[in-house]
Amino acid sequence: MRKRVVVTGLGCVSPVGNNVKDTWQALLAGRSGAAPITAFDASAHKTRFASEVKGFDPVALFGTRDARKMDRFTQFASAAALEAIAHSGLTIDETNRDRVGILIGSGIGGIITLIEQYEVMKQRGPDRVSPFLIPMMISDGAAGNIAIRVGARGPNMSVATACASGTNALGEAAEMIRRGAADVMIAGASEAAISSIAMAGMNVMTALSTRNDDPQKASRPFDKDRDGFVMGEGAGILILESLEYAQARGANILCEFTGYGTTDDAHHISAPAEDGAGAANSMRLAMKDAGLGLEEIDYINAHGTSTYLNDKSETSAIKSVFGQQAYKIPVSSTKSMTGHLLGASGALEAVFCSMAIMENILPPTINYTTPDPVCDLDYVPNQPRKAEPGNIMSNSFGFGGHNATLILSRFTK
């Protein structure tokens, strides 16, 4: 029999709060993190706003010496991991450090450091490039840095599946615990890609909203007037443990990780399959993994990017899986408030799903004003909703056709 996996700690850095408490309160208040870009001069760009993390002070958290050796995405991941570990009450020492692993996803990694150091090389020559460039740039930098900081010597790696990275990271971390490779996994994802080149690339793909006159209403998943996603940044980290290990140390169990499914569309490098077939298969696999029927899913945290193709495709996929039951399941997109954190989105949304179970309330889809006939489900419009979800599904889909779905459930002994 495979091991049961439970969630014992949560941590995050987001565009609407630099910890779980502040972020969750912002979601329930329906507050958007979108605003004009401050990280660089965006005046020449079609999209001049994003959902940036605000007031984050890495020097205060890590000291000047350590902070300057970490890319922004690693700083976010480290801060969220420390919060999650503290929340879980987990002590990592010689008695367990070889059984504590880390799996941190990132779709892009240290792109800000790469851009900065490329400019240094152009202006001052190759010998002036930082010796920390490579470890700061590579996508496994977050997992490696966290291991050094907390002393965890178990399995350690990164996963990159574009915007599905966070959900895949959590799913693969849970699988490691299930098969006995670790007792504890510090798992999630981080992203810090709000840069001139990334915004330019997304704009020429027509992926981003261009509502420069009203950024806070730009992310409008499933709304008829949606025109693209809002770039976000941040991190979400969960502490996953085998049930036996968590109970033996007297941990407070927040919820249970019960289901995981992952597939690929094999259709197009950036566009989802119109009928959502790959996404639908991912959802079916997650329910099979959790041993749940159609009527046992109480809420879906959608990928819900606010792009025309994704929202239409995801709605089709949900209806394909659930049939008429789809109309009875609340579905919301928290990207309407946080923006799209790319590789980190699924991990941050798993934090939200955990909070929804703990707090008995569903976060809304804000900016939902004009229903779209092709998106006709219950999207929890504009206001949070009291509920007692027993099983929550969370979807993440990424360029390359990657699909990942997880299910978190109310813990029962």
* 410 located within any domain: no
Q: What is the pLDDT of residue 263?
A: 98
Q: In whole angstroms, what is the distance from residue 237 CA to residue 240 CA?
A: 10
Q: What is the mean pLDDT of residues 37-64?
A: 98
Residue 291 lies in a domain: yes
3-state SS assignment for residue 64 = helix
Cα 413 to Cα 89, 150, 256, 350: the distances in Å are 20, 30, 10, 22
Euclidean distance between CA atoms 279 and 283, whole angstroms: 6
- Asked if pLDDT for residue 214 goes beyond 80, the answer is yes
Look up the domain containing 233 and give its range.
1-398
Per-residue pLDDT tens digits for 5-26: 999 999 999 999 999 999 999 9
As a whole number, the mean pLDDT across the chain is: 97
Q: Map tokens 């077939």 to a residue.
A: 277
Residue carrying the six token digits 């099983």:
391
The number of distinct structural domains making up the chain is 1
Tokens 């989105």 belong to 345
174-196 per-residue burial string, b: 16 or more CB within 10 A, e: under 16: bbbbbeeebbbbbbbbbbbbbbe
Residue range 217-238, pLDDT digits in tens: 999 999 999 999 999 999 999 9
- Tell me which of 163, 255, 353, 375 is the catalytic residue: 163
CA–CA distance from 96 to each of 9, 165, 201, 256 (Å)? Answer: 17, 27, 44, 22
**What whole-number percentage of the chain has pLDDT above 70?**
100
Residue type, 295: E
Note whether residue 292 is domain-resident. Answer: yes
- Residue 248 lies inside a defined structural domain of this protein: yes
Establish if 407 belongs to a structural domain. Answer: no
pLDDT digits (tens, 9 = 90+) for 381-407: 999 999 999 999 999 999 999 999 999
DSSP state of 261: E
From the candidates 303, 353, 375, 402, which is the catalytic residue?
A: 303
Report the phi/psi class of residue 77: left, alpha or beta, with left for phi > 0 and alpha for psi in -120 to 50.
alpha
Has residue 175 been placed in a domain? Answer: yes
Q: Give SS3 for 68.
A: coil
pLDDT band at 413 (very low <50, low <70, confident <90, very high): confident
Residue 267 a catalytic site member = no
Told to judge if 303 belongs to the known catalytic residues of this protein, a careful annotator would answer yes
Q: Tell me, yes or no, whether 114 lies in a domain.
A: yes
Q: What is the CATH number of the domain that holds 4?
A: 3.40.47.10
Stated pTM of the model: 0.97
Residue 271 has pLDDT above 90, yes or no: no
Assign 275 a pLDDT band (cuts: 50, 70, 90): confident
Catalytic residue among 12, 340, 353, 402: 340
Does residue 340 fall inside a structural domain?
Answer: yes
Residue 18 tokens, joined: 């630099």
Q: Is 375 in the active site?
A: no
pLDDT of residue 269: 87
